[in-house]
Amino acid sequence: MTTFAILLGPPLLAAMLATAMKPYRRIVGWVNALLSLGSLGAAVALWRHILAGEVLTSGPLEFLRADALSTLLAFCVSVVGALAAWLGPGMGGDDGYTAREARRFRIFANLFTFTMLFAVTSNNVGFMWIAIEATTITSAMLIPLHVTKASVEASWKYILIGSIGIALAFGGTVLGYFDFVSLAGRHETALNWTVLMASAPRLHGPVIQLAFVFILIGYGTKAGLAPMHTWLPDAHSEAPAPLSAMMSGVLLAVALYAVIRWEAVVNAAVGTGFTDGLFITLGVLSIVIAAFSLVVQRNYKRMLAYSSIEHTGLICVGLALGPLGTFASMLHLLNHTLAKSMMFFLAGRVLHRYRTTEIAGVSGLLTTMPWTGGLFAAGMLAVIGLPPFGLFMSEFALFRAGFAAGRPWLMGLVLALLTVAFVSMIGHLNRMLYGAPAAGTAVGEGSAWPLVPLGACMAALVVLGLTLPAPVQALLDGIVEIVGR
């Protein structure tokens, strides 16, 4: 119970402090930043328990539960939540935000973190659905942190499309529940994932398959899978950088977490063939749309958003490639969390200096902000899958899994699409890094200390690109067992 309290408590406490402290004081930001380290420490503690062979539970009817899959997502959410707490508005300096905006960010960003952490530690798939629905509200409040017509429109578009998706996920959850009830009768633990897994072999195949279609489309909308992805580029391009980092780095992953939970039930009920076909279809479609959208992209924040759609598609394809593919997908999820959250924070620094999100409006980045530009370039190389970064290793593992699964044509198609994305993003990056800066653009980093945690993310990506630490491998092996491969 203590570990779960330390994991879930800090963001709630920080949100209450920001609510009570009016007008906003800088101390709120510092307390929030320190509290975020508590959640991160609790996530690491969960990881240690998993490595020791334990599955932690808490509350009546095992209401909270943390296995290998929960622990990976809790760690990812805690890392990005801590970055947002330390680098977000309200920590002092000229960050372009008013005290009122900083207060609103601290309230809803912490509630956003809490809802994601609760979603990945709840054993009850009904409460998991509620938590993921709550992520829509808490994050949508922050997209128009700077109120403009475009940001308000992006927020409403996100709410409308996300709500339709989550309604479909609700329908799938209800179908799964009634299928269980028709077999075992009404039971107070009927929506517990562990109970559904134990009963999966007795569930009606056609019903649970239909339920999974609703669930995949519903949660896939939140994950940014095509063709339900249309909210994502708008929301990411208009949101403040810390929120974009949280949405791209972990919100998409939390939505995929819900899909993977139900995938395990469906695989146990009807085998893996049904889910494999759906994952390949939506995964490849997402990569196709993202790759060709990157070709014509003119906005660097939207470019990063479409890159997230591409990587979400890759994760889905990997989930259809057997145990090796599932392992590669979860490694890719971890790498993407580190890389994309770092990139959006760096994009925020670029925006603050150049006052535009247009690629054509940014030139000479290496001249004006050498360290930021260097990290941005390295991060872009990591995102497009070059060595020695972790995303190269997870993509290599994914292709290896595809050939091992006897799908060479699929791997050839994916490789061709990744090549399109690679060429496009390299071209956009070159235009930003080189050339003469616009007249009047200040030279120098300004506040450089935020580069320290972002540099730590880059270092972690290099480590994951050169080796696979034993604790990471053990955690991912545990996830493969959960999915039932």
pLDDT tens digits for 176-213? 999 888 876 677 788 899 999 998 888 899 999 999 99
Beta bridge partners of 122: 64
Rounded to an integer, the average pLDDT of 418-435 is 94
% of the chain residues with pLDDT over 70: 98
CB 36 within 8 A of CB 86: yes
Which one has a higher pLDDT value, 484 or 427? 427
Mean per-residue pLDDT over the chain, rounded: 93
Query: What are the backbone angles phi and psi of residue 349, rounded to the nearest 5°?
Result: -65, -40
The set of residues, in sequence order, having a beta carbon less than 8 Å from that of 408 and lying 6+ positions away, is 402
CB 271 within 8 A of CB 136: no
Rounded Cα distance between 35 and 336, Å, is 25
pLDDT of residue 258: 97
pLDDT of residue 92: 66
Go through the chain and tell me how many residues it has: 485
DSSP for 221-279 reads HHHT-TTS-THHHHHHHHS-HHHHHHIIIIIHHHHHHHHHHHHHHHHHHH-SHHHHHHH
The set of residues, in sequence order, having a beta carbon less than 8 Å from that of 359 and lying 6+ positions away, is 297, 298, 299, 300, 303, 428, 431, 432
The tens digit of pLDDT for each residue in 4-24 reads 999 999 999 999 999 998 887
Is the pLDDT at 93 greater than 70? The verdict is no
Rounded Cα distance between 309 and 287, Å, is 7
What is the pTM for the complete model shown?
A: 0.96
pLDDT of residue 449: 85
Is the pLDDT at 270 greater than 70? The verdict is yes
Is the pLDDT at 237 greater than 90? The verdict is no
- Work out the burial of residue 401: count CB atoms within 10 Å of its CB; fewer than 13 is exposed, 13-18 middle, 19 or more buried: buried
How far lies 377's CA from each of 383, 384, 434, in Å?
10, 11, 11
